[in-house]
Structure 1
Amino acid sequence: MISAYFILTLFLTSLLESFVPVVADSSLKVEVSNLRNDKGDVIFLLYKEGASFPDKELRNSFKKETGVIKNDSAIAFFSNIPPGVYAVTVVHDENDDQILNRGLLLPKEGIGFSNYQSIGLTNRPQFSKASFRISKDTCIHVKMIYMK
């Protein structure tokens, strides 16, 4: 026989669970424009807090998407993103080799980071500066930077 205590506990537990908000995953739309040409594709990398950022080998991202260039612009959509702190890196992969080609020190291809308008010796990309919070569907624009 089921006790009244058990029934009451079950009832109260189910009642409380109905009031606990469910945090849904979100989506992120990343846009880039003013690409210097329509060659290749654009690699979009989404990094979680605590990840190796920036990632020279483009391997440590949480999610990766490739965008087709149309009219000097590209867009990527990331879905099923749990709430948290993230940063984005974008690479204009002009020769479609899936890496960021570099000269002696500087990238030969375009690169961009969330929240960055320029990069240099005194303005190196850091997760703390590039990061932003995702808790709902979000759209950001990343500026492409060409060093060469």
Structure 2
Amino acid sequence: MKKLFIHNFVILAGILSFFIFSSFKEHYKYPTFSLTVEVSNLRNNEGSVVFALYNREDAFPDEHYKKYYKKIVGKIDNKKSSVTFEDLPAGKYAVSILHDEDNNGKIKKGFILPKEGIGFSNYQSIGLGNKPTFSKASFEINSNLEIKLKMIYM
């Protein structure tokens, strides 16, 4: 009787250990992707380029860089800059860029218009009739992606 009790106890302890140290639940990690953004028409090699990535309509455009999803400051080489955003879940995104010539992290403005270059995904120009919006600037990411943006100087 004692042997049967010990045998059952060992089997029960083994089963219990299996449940504690393993899981029948499949651990599924959603795939993530990368986004490489390049700008090549900078007017000089001064400063840096701020690349801001947005994933919400209510955050874009974000003149003061407070609502971005991810932000990377890129170095300029030969009037070009490129960065890669990593580990992005599939979804809708938009990008804004700033040629931050004075490296202060802010858009330098004249009376109304910016004195430093700016740009947005899916935009070749901006103006009163063509203001940046998330719906127009956004694009889907469901695989690794590379895009080129145009820097706009006023």
TM over 0.5: yes
- Contact between 2:121 and 2:138, CA under 8 Å: does it hold in 1? yes
Conserved 8 A contact 1:34-1:144: yes
Instruction: Report sequence identity in percent.
Output: 50
| Residue matched to 1:83 | 90
Query: Per-residue CA shift, 1:110-136, capped at 9, x if unaligned?
Result: 000000000000000000000000011
Structure possessing the higher radius of gyration over alpha carbons: 2
Q: CA deviation at 1:23?
A: 3.6
Please say if residues 57 and 135 of structure 2, whose CA atoms lie closer than 8 Å, have aligned partners that are also in contact: no
Alpha-carbon distance in 1 for matches of 2:128, 2:31: 39
Contact 2:121 2:149 in 1 (8 A): yes
2:142 equivalent to 1:135: yes
Q: Which amino acid in the other structure matches residue 119 of structure 1? A: I
Structure 1 residue 51: Cα displacement? 3.8
Could you tell me which amino acid in structure 2 is paired with residue 90 of structure 1?
I
Alignment pair present for 1:68 and 2:49: no
Normalising by the residue count of structure 1, what TM-score does the alignment of the two structures yield?
0.84
Aligned pair 1:34/2:44, yes or no? no
> Displaced runs of 4+ in structure 1, greater than 4 A?
none
User: Once the 2 structures are TM-superposed, how far is the Cα of residue 22 of structure 1 from its aligned partner?
Assistant: 5.8
More helix by share: 2
SS of corresponding position for 2:57: coil
DSSP 3-state at the match of 2:71: strand
Equivalent in the alignment of 1:44: 51
Residues 1:96 and 2:103 aligned together: yes
Structure 2 residues without counterparts, runs of 5 or longer: 1-7, 9-23
CA RMSD of superposed structures (Å): 2.0
Q: 1:51 touches 1:61 (CA, 8 Å); kept in 2?
A: no
Secondary structure of the equivalent of 2:41?
coil
Instruction: Show structure 1 runs of 5+ residues with no match.
Output: 2-13
Which among 25, 29, 37 is matched to residue 32 of structure 2? 25
Q: Match of 2:151?
A: 144
